[in-house]
Structure 1
């Protein structure tokens, strides 16, 4: 038997460790050269690891959610043509999935244990037994897959009662409740006493850690102002009504991006990153805007670089491109790093106001909220206008309240009078 040991390689940029987020092979598998074996997550991106040799898997090291240092052994292969009989291999890690379809990177969470006093203990293992042969992909609608991601449930273990074994929303609900799909419920108001414990791993854990660092290390100061977007809304509708195929539809965010370009020269302290360990503030001439984006695995911040060099429609195209890449898990490391200020928006779910959390180590984040039509007093007359609150948070160590207010008022002027966005500044 000839053994080959695959170790976690150095992926660059000073990364000392990576977290295992998905196994794509199991002990006993015969794999080909360049076949995908495992996904690991670094500080910013999920990296797919492939094998440089062919062979049979004889050992896997590390569980999903475990952080492994660079150079540590991940996989052992028998490269002999005869291979190693599966029954003589070591037992796999207890959380390694049964097939490559169980966990897709990025991973939000991995279920650990579910207990319910009302259910017999002996029925619990059956819920987590695989319901299809290894290698069979579970069939489910995108909405069902998204809900499974949010719940941290591998669809491989959910029985499907739809056509061809498709997993329906009712199947997922029944699995979460611990009852067979289609089973009758005798008491509609019965007590629910089950507890589900979920280990937070992968992207969801990285999000939690980043939020914790931001709130612990940055003294946030939030400023909320009311914007009148009536004129901007009219301009946007007129431009989009042209329906030209050579340019994208405009949302509000490209206008905010161009407004920030006009302002950062006068307010360089908001287009900055603060290294609080060395007490160095780095202000940037180029504007690199992070776009807070919800993905199936959690919140990510892809970056539109050098916005100062982009026109309005180019901003819209780049924004759509990087956010799509993030949602599909295809964003590169460069597309997920280097932001100097962040825009965050929940669109119609934006609410009245918010207290956005700064994307550490930046010093400012801008959050447009929901658009509403309501009566306002304008030039002594009551008129129906399209209004929106804008919430912005600043690092109070770097940006004084007075400067933050001046910055938002200057932004308000540009957004409320959008013609100013297209005027060259002297």
Structure 2
């Protein structure tokens, strides 16, 4: 028998260290070739580490959340034959990591006993089947007594004439048990002293670092504009009815991508990256639109490359493909990097206004809020229109406020007159 040592691979792009995000195996497990052993996180993507051999796991080289240098020992596997490291020459055993938790390890303290100011919180007897609005027979004194004890009177069986609830019935109710349907009501008001600690690792750590970096380095400012989307929603519905079965359904996002492409022709300073260390602004002709996408591991930004060369349906297909890849954790590093401007939307949960954080080194991000129907005055008449806000942020070190406003106004004009999206 021998030992095969797997070291942290060089993932490329000049990366010197990566974060160990999650183990998929533990010491003692039998593994086969190509089985995924661990997930590691780079600055841009989650990467699977597969096994190159068959064997038995004998040591793990780190714990989730640990940042490991490229070339350091990741895992040791016992194999048939000599392996790549003879047992006699093996280094001291790597400290075994505990069985890996999920990407966000949760540590819960034991909850303190619930405080119960009234006996009803801990002592309840068998219930009586009464309707919620049925008023049981009881004297005012009994009702007050029940209120003081925290007892719902409709749950108490009455032993008096016609089922009247007596004081003795309240006492019997308290003495007969501690489990019935009113307990959750009392428990809802019980004091709680439990805590949980969530380790910030993996994608969540990367998101935190990028958001902090963006807000510390860039001079953010936001601009909000209201847009009438009635016409473009009518166009979208018409196109879906006519071509949806053969070409796929269109959401609003492909139209917004198209509006960005057209508007950027007159505002190339928005389609740029700013290297603040070199003090260089790079304006790009290619429009690579990052589309912020929520996944189980956090916010990811897959990139629709060369949006300037895509039709509505081509953009729609690519947006859907990338979003699914991001949500399923299958997006590649290339698909998650290289954007020149970002579009972010919370869909129906988009709220009225937001203040998006820049996706550095980009200098502009366009945020989409929810569509609502609202009475508007059009040519002196009050009509119902579909309205939506664009909440966008810019890097004031690069973008002037007037240019930002004119850029969003250009997008507004294109959306409100959708035919202009396709007029060259």
Structure 2 equivalent of residue 395 of structure 1 = 395
Q: 2: distance between equivalents of 1:248 and 1:82?
A: 56
Q: 2: distance between equivalents of 1:189 and 1:281?
A: 57
Structure 2 equivalent of residue 194 of structure 1 = 194
Distance 1:82 1:257, change over 3 A: closer
SS at match of 1:261: helix
SS at match of 2:399: coil
Contact 1:22–1:64 at 8 Å: present in 2 too?
Answer: yes
Q: 2: distance between equivalents of 1:82 and 1:7?
A: 17
Count of residue correspondences: 349
Structure 2 equivalent of residue 371 of structure 1 = 371
TM-score, structure 2 length as denominator? 0.78
Contact 1:58–1:90 at 8 Å: present in 2 too?
Answer: no
1:189-268 alignment, distance < 5 Å:
189-268=189-268
Query: Following TM superposition, by how much is the alpha carbon of 1:359 offset from its aligned partner in structure 2, in angstroms?
Result: 0.6
Q: 1: distance between equivalents of 2:273 and 2:242?
A: 40
Structure 2 equivalent of residue 92 of structure 1 = 96
Q: 2: distance between equivalents of 1:377 and 1:44?
A: 47
SS at match of 2:193: coil
Q: 2: distance between equivalents of 1:55 and 1:367?
A: 50
Distance 1:244 1:354, change over 3 A: closer
Query: Following TM superposition, by how much is the alpha carbon of 1:12 offset from its aligned partner in structure 2, in angstroms?
Result: 0.2
Contact 2:2–2:82 at 8 Å: present in 1 too?
Answer: no
SS at match of 1:117: coil
Contact 2:3–2:82 at 8 Å: present in 1 too?
Answer: no
Q: 2: distance between equivalents of 1:82 and 1:339?
A: 47
Deviations 1:28-56 (A, max 9, x none): 22222222211111111111111222222
Structure 2 equivalent of residue 171 of structure 1 = none
Query: Following TM superposition, by how much is the alpha carbon of 1:300 offset from its aligned partner in structure 2, in angstroms?
Result: 0.5
1:161-180 alignment, distance < 5 Å:
none
1:37-76 alignment, distance < 5 Å:
37-76=37-76
SS at match of 1:225: strand
1:231-310 alignment, distance < 5 Å:
231-310=231-310
Query: Following TM superposition, by how much is the alpha carbon of 1:113 offset from its aligned partner in structure 2, in angstroms?
Result: 4.2
Structure 2 equivalent of residue 24 of structure 1 = 24
Distance 1:418 1:117, change over 3 A: same
SS at match of 1:420: helix
Counterpart among 105, 111, 121 of residue 116 in structure 1: 111
Q: 1: distance between equivalents of 2:245 and 2:187?
A: 56
Contact 1:347–1:370 at 8 Å: present in 2 too?
Answer: yes
Deviations 1:187-216 (A, max 9, x none): 331111101111111111111111001101
- Comparing 339-348 with 33-42, greater Cα deviation is found at 33-42
TM-align CA RMSD? 2.1
Distance 1:90 1:289, change over 3 A: closer
SS at match of 2:245: coil
Contact 1:7–1:73 at 8 Å: present in 2 too?
Answer: yes
Q: 2: distance between equivalents of 1:294 and 1:34?
A: 29
Query: Following TM superposition, by how much is the alpha carbon of 1:246 offset from its aligned partner in structure 2, in angstroms?
Result: 2.6
Q: 2: distance between equivalents of 1:234 and 1:33?
A: 54
Structure 2 equivalent of residue 324 of structure 1 = 324
Q: 1: distance between equivalents of 2:354 and 2:187?
A: 40
SS at match of 1:331: coil
Bigger radius of gyration among the two: 2
Q: 2: distance between equivalents of 1:422 and 1:115?
A: 62
Q: 1: distance between equivalents of 2:243 and 2:268?
A: 37
Q: 2: distance between equivalents of 1:338 and 1:187?
A: 52
Q: 1: distance between equivalents of 2:423 and 2:285?
A: 20
Q: 1: distance between equivalents of 2:36 and 2:188?
A: 47
Query: Following TM superposition, by how much is the alpha carbon of 1:400 offset from its aligned partner in structure 2, in angstroms?
Result: 0.1
TM-score, structure 1 length as denominator? 0.78
SS at match of 2:247: coil
Query: Following TM superposition, by how much is the alpha carbon of 1:268 offset from its aligned partner in structure 2, in angstroms?
Result: 0.8
Distance 1:56 1:81, change over 3 A: farther
Query: Following TM superposition, by how much is the alpha carbon of 1:370 offset from its aligned partner in structure 2, in angstroms?
Result: 1.1
SS at match of 1:193: coil
SS at match of 2:329: coil
5+ residue gaps, structure 2, are: 88-92, 115-180
Q: 1: distance between equivalents of 2:31 and 2:297?
A: 28
Contact 2:231–2:418 at 8 Å: present in 1 too?
Answer: yes
Q: 1: distance between equivalents of 2:110 and 2:214?
A: 34
Distance 1:62 1:377, change over 3 A: same
**1:355 is aligned to 2:355:** yes
Query: Following TM superposition, by how much is the alpha carbon of 1:91 offset from its aligned partner in structure 2, in angstroms?
Result: 6.6
Contact 1:27–1:90 at 8 Å: present in 2 too?
Answer: no
Structure 1 equivalent of residue 136 of structure 2 = none
